[in-house]
Amino acid sequence: MEFEEFSRPEWRLMSQVSRPSRYCGSEWRPHEKVSWDEAKLRICLAFPDVYETGMSYYGFQIIESFIHEQSKFYLADRVYCVWPDMEELMRRENMPLISVEHRKPVKDFDVLAFTLPHETSYTNILTMLDLAGLRLRSSERNKNSPLVIAGGYGAYTPEVMSEFIDVFCIGEAEALLPELLPVLENMLGHSKISGFYGKSHEKLSQEISALSNERDKSQLNVNNHRELSLPGFDVKGHEGSSSQKSGSNVNNREELLREIAKLPGFYVPLCHHEGEVITRQITQKFHTLHSMIIPSINIVHDRAAVELFRGCGRGCRFCQAGMVNRPVRERSVEEASQSIMDIINSTGWEEAGLMSLASCDYSGIETLIDELADTLNDRHVKLSLPSLRMDGFSVGLAEKLEGLRSKHGGITFAPEAGTQRLRDVINKGINEEMIIKCVKEIFSRGWEHVKLYFMMGLPTETEQDLDAIANLSYQVLKLGRAIGRKRASVSVSVSGFVPKAHTPFQWERQNSITELQDKGRRIKSLVHDRALSIAYHEPEQTFLEGVLSRGDKRTCNVILRAWEMGARFDSWTEYFNLQRWLDAFEQCGLEPEEFTRERDETEKLSWDFINVGVDKNFLLRERHNAYNQKLTVDCRTGCAGCGLKCKK
């Protein structure tokens, strides 16, 4: 008997690397595999972390399914970053980066589409580009290179990676792809056209205009797109081969980028003009999954999942996700229930997750759990929820979850701050009475372990606020014991605050490494009970995240230099090396503190040209409200005046 896998060139490397199952493929897929030769458009979705982390990213499940629904001739595949031991072997063997499903070299795809999940993944993007055999800088690629695009939270501060990405996608895939895919098919497609590019510039312009006129009225639009040129555009040759330069059609690549730049919601750095605003594109009806790809190994979030709603109306002033995902748009209970059951029936998963920024805020949460409870219990399927709000965890919801989860498992909450004053500063919207009431209910119904999330380094923070983290955690533990939970325990996770773009705190100064270290040690020194554990995130990694989260074009050279010096997997403690980054900043003539300093409210910010829908004046007003400890209404109960004008 012969096995196809044994004949693959990468197979002989498997025994030499840790966790070889990351690279074996062999997944179960709900969709029919699109033939490589018959595909009109080939897209490779790229996640800049290892397989078991990337396969937990729900967004790729949505995007791949959505692409396949647009046309049976659209091929969507995936690729993940390889661990350093595999990278070393691939370089030694001159083996290119290949996709998961079709086992094709990434450079042979038409489009390489990255998601930017967090700032400490940026060097992994360079690793993947390099292993694919692509030039790192966008300006040095030509028509033989796949189009490199990127979306996700990192795309809202695109200048940090603008030297390496051809096109940034600003908004939601369901709103952006219906306009982008036909253009890509026409210009890059492999069917019914001759050569690498398809229709004429005039023909494409007409089609793009028609597409724009037919846009869904529910989507946000960019105004006044002009004819664009590529100032200073110069292709240096194709992927390390100068002999390709004379044969490459530079105008065609320029034409492709110009046409994409005309579409709303796409930022093309090489085409962008000063003062031009790119507006986030959203949709009112988001894609529904009825099955999911089953990974070949255990992954971080190994479960079926359904997205209950998008957006968040709470208005926590530190939270970028809550600001850039507005407005709140809910899926119906019937649709959510059907999606979960379809996925469970088709995959056999034994856990189902109800996903959103705060699932307990879903208006139909109790109805949905009622509808799912009996069926899930009969099939021994557990129901999981992300971190719960202490004000939203009603007694009724606790009773319903009791039948779907083990009482001996943990429940997670995020008070964020230890004092009421600081909770009001960040607009958390909960008070200590609500916290205590909720904790009593949890312990009285059988749970034994509570996990709490806090932040340190928040604006206006004092030593009293830090001490209150330990005091509140002790209070929670004592409540559990008083109720009779002899094995009650509390674990506390404290992370350093990172000011994020497009939030009311985008102007704030970030604490230094030393300040965060001192604060973390202070909190830990107040704990003297084995049933109460406190851990804090590495301040060095928090510092780097802060530098890159508010960077600009200058940080591109720093990222490249750090990568050249060996920076990889900076979100993984075993590979993170702060000194390497400090050396990179020094060699590029920059001070990292330039990017963690407080900004003046009148200062031009490198991300100001990205319009996420939330008005900058609203962010300034919210910053002032924070310093006055003034709460702002949840936008689901009243309009907060953020600028979206979604309430009529």
User: Cα separation of 497 and 512, whole Å?
Assistant: 11
Q: How many CB atoms lie within 10 A of CB 608?
A: 12
Cβ burial, residue 452 (10 Å; 0-12/13-18/19+): buried
8 A C-beta contact, residue 342 and residue 290: yes
pLDDT interval class at 13 (50, 70, 90): confident
Length of the chain, please?
648
User: Cα separation of 631 and 453, whole Å?
Assistant: 21
Mean pLDDT, the chain, whole residue set: 87
Interval 341-370: pLDDT, tens: 999 999 999 999 999 988 888 999 989 998
Alpha helices in 273-419 (DSSP H): 320-324, 333-347, 365-378, 395-402
Name the maximum alpha-carbon separation found in the chain: 79
Query: pTM of this prediction?
Result: 0.89
- Roughly how many angstroms between the first and final C-alpha of the chain, as a whole number? 67
* pLDDT for 385: 77
Is residue 497 pLDDT above 80, yes or no?
yes
Is residue 257 pLDDT above 60, yes or no?
yes
Is residue 201 pLDDT above 60, yes or no?
no
C-alpha to C-alpha distances, 171 to 67, 103, 393, 458, 462, nearest whole angstrom: 16, 30, 31, 28, 37
Angle between helices 250-262 and 201-213 (to 10 degrees): 10
User: Cα separation of 41 and 315, whole Å?
Assistant: 40
Q: Chain centroid to CA 334: how far?
A: 27
8 A C-beta contact, residue 566 and residue 592: no
SS3 content of the chain, % helix, strand, coil (to 5): 40, 15, 45
- Give the three-state DSSP class for 415: strand
The two three-digit tokens of residue 516, written as one number: 């965060």
Interval 21-79: pLDDT, tens: 899 888 888 878 889 999 999 999 999 999 999 999 999 999 999 999 999 999 999 99
8 A C-beta contact, residue 252 and residue 200: no
Percent of the chain residues past pLDDT 90, beyond the cut: 69
The two three-digit tokens of residue 433, written as one number: 């009475």
Interval 603-622: pLDDT, tens: 999 999 999 999 999 999 99
8 A C-beta contact, residue 181 and residue 76: no
C-alpha to C-alpha distances, 77 to 102, 111, 127, 617, nearest whole angstrom: 7, 10, 19, 41
More confident residue, 25 or 118: 118
Residue with tokens 């003034």: 630
CATH code, domain with 623: 3.80.30.20
8 A C-beta contact, residue 136 and residue 559: no
Q: Which residues contact 361 (CB under 8 A, 6 or more apart)?
A: 309, 312, 313, 314, 389, 392, 636
* pLDDT for 120: 95
User: Cα separation of 439 and 476, whole Å?
Assistant: 7
401 part of a folded domain: yes
User: DSSP characters for 545-590?
Assistant: HHHHHT--THHHHHHHHHHHTT---TTSTTT--HHHHHHHHHHTT-
97 part of a folded domain: no
Please state the domain count of the chain. 1
Cβ burial, residue 577 (10 Å; 0-12/13-18/19+): middle
8 A C-beta contact, residue 205 and residue 97: no
pLDDT interval class at 336 (50, 70, 90): very high
405 part of a folded domain: yes
Closest to 354 measured CA to CA, from 618, 58, 41: 58
Query: Structural domain of residue 509, as residue ranges?
Result: 304-537+615-627
Spatial strand order in the sheet of 382-384: 304-307, 351-355, 382-384
Question: Residue 29: what residue type?
Answer: R
Interval 134-176: pLDDT, tens: 999 999 998 889 999 999 999 999 999 999 999 999 999 999 9
465 part of a folded domain: yes
User: Cα separation of 287 and 70, whole Å?
Assistant: 12
66 part of a folded domain: no
Q: CA-based Rg of the chain, rounded to a whole angstrom?
A: 25
pLDDT interval class at 219 (50, 70, 90): very low
pLDDT interval class at 12 (50, 70, 90): confident
User: Cα separation of 186 and 148, whole Å?
Assistant: 17
Please write down the HEC assignment for all residues of 92-153: HHCCCCECCCCCCEHHHCCEEEEECCCHHHHHHHHHHHHHCCCCCCHHHCCCCCCEEEEECH
C-alpha dihedral (158, 163, 165, 170), degrees to nearest 10? 20
231 part of a folded domain: no
Question: Residue 77: what residue type?
Answer: D
The neighbouring-strand residues paired with 335 are none
User: Cα separation of 339 and 248, whole Å?
Assistant: 47
Question: Residue 132: what residue type?
Answer: A
**Lowest model confidence (mean pLDDT) among 19-23, 528-532, 601-605:** 19-23
Closest to 567 measured CA to CA, from 592, 584, 547, 548: 584
Question: Residue 68: what residue type?
Answer: H
Average pLDDT over residues 268-297: 94
8 A C-beta contact, residue 74 and residue 181: yes
Closest to 417 measured CA to CA, from 409, 426, 408: 426
284 part of a folded domain: no
The two three-digit tokens of residue 166, written as one number: 């051809």
* pLDDT for 45: 98
489 part of a folded domain: yes
- Give the three-state DSSP class for 407: coil
pLDDT interval class at 193 (50, 70, 90): very low
pLDDT interval class at 246 (50, 70, 90): very low
* pLDDT for 395: 53
Residue with tokens 């791949």: 64
